Amino acid sequence: MMRFVPPLRRLLAAFLLIALAACGSAKPPSDETAKVALWAISDNTGVHGWLLGTVHSLPRGTQWRRPVIDGAITNADRLVLEIGDALNPQIAGEALSKLAFTPGLPPPSERVGVKFRGDLAKVYKDLSLNDAQFKDQESWAVALQIAAIGGLKQGMEPDSGVEPELRKVIGAKPVTGLETIDSQFGIFDALPERAQTVLLEQVAHEAADNRDDDKDMLALWLRGDELGIAKEAQTGFLADPELRSALLTRRNLAWANQIDAMLKAGAKPFIAVGAAHVAGVDGLPRLLEARGWLVKRVY
């Protein structure tokens, strides 16, 4: 029997997509029109695709679409997401259960450094959790679940994120993925023990901090502030070089190669991935430019 903290379906949906998600407060900014960043990918023959940074989990009612985004979706011949298949909790649970457990692990509270134990204790109290609920679970799985449960408590709903809406508006066009459920979990599972501990420590620290200000990723994303997103994406666990390489940089390189091949084969994709993946010098726009494409922001 799989051992998970309930509610199973919503939790799996949340932590499957939480890895590098741009998350924010439960009340999105409402005093300005959304300017979510969109890039057109072209060469001297015209536009061949579009790239959108997403927030995987949104407060209900968040208005993020704008005419240029809808126009790009209409003109695209397919939708490309991080994971192509719609979330199936049973399949996700089976994928996680194959990787998340190692018998004999010490409790999570004994794995984190002394200065983070207070953070983890506060998170446990706030979210009604304890070490026993994570018995024999590896640190990466504990971290993702804490992040997911905390997000749900703050009102973040994975079924109201960008990806579910894109699946609806793309209609009958094909939907493909850059990764699979198994490969996404596998990236976390392959992290060395030290990196997994840092991930858990940073997730616990951020969850205990309970920040709720205009600098969060949701507000930056809605404003289309790619420089702010790039700066934010260098904090927390992504400030650790090993975690950044495994969870962001190497994935971006692999995705850029896939997208480059797709475009050269004649596809016209609308590509939507987590906002951290399109920001900064190691983001997809810069990587695609390095492969000869003109990547220009559409206003």
- With a pLDDT cut of 70, the percent of the chain lying above it is 86
Q: Is 184's pLDDT higher than 70?
A: yes
Asked if 81 and 173 count as a contact pair (C-beta separation under 8 A), the reply is: no
Do 116 and 237 contact (CB within 8 A), yes or no? Answer: no
Pick the range with the lowest mean pLDDT from 20-29, 50-59, 129-138, 150-159. 20-29
The pLDDT of residue 18: 46
- pLDDT tens, 252-269? 999 999 999 999 999 999
Question: Tell me, what's the pLDDT at 84?
Answer: 94
pLDDT tens profile 187-199: 999 999 999 999 9
Above 80 in pLDDT, residue 239?
yes
Mean pLDDT of the chain: 87
The Cα 279–Cα 84 span in angstroms is: 22
Q: SS3 for the chain, per residue? A: CCCCCCCHHHHHHHHHHCCCCCCCCCCCCCCCCCCCCEEEEEECCEEEEEEEEECCCECCCCCCCCHHHHHHHHHCCEEEEEECCCCCHHHHHHHHHCCCECCCCCCHHHHCCHHHHHHHHHHHHHHCCCHHHHCCECHHHHHHHHHHHHHHHCCCEHHHCHHHHHHHHCCCCCEEEEECHHHHHHHHHCCCHHHHHHHHHHHHHHHHHCCCCCCCHHHHHHHCCHHHHHHHCCCHHHHCHHHHHHHHHHHHHHHHHHHHHHHHCCCCEEEEEEHHHHCCCCCHHHHHHHCCCEEEEEC
- Looking at the chain, the whole-number percentage of residues with pLDDT higher than 90 is 69
Rounded CA-CA distance 187/293 in Å is: 28
150 confidence band (pLDDT: 50, 70, 90): confident
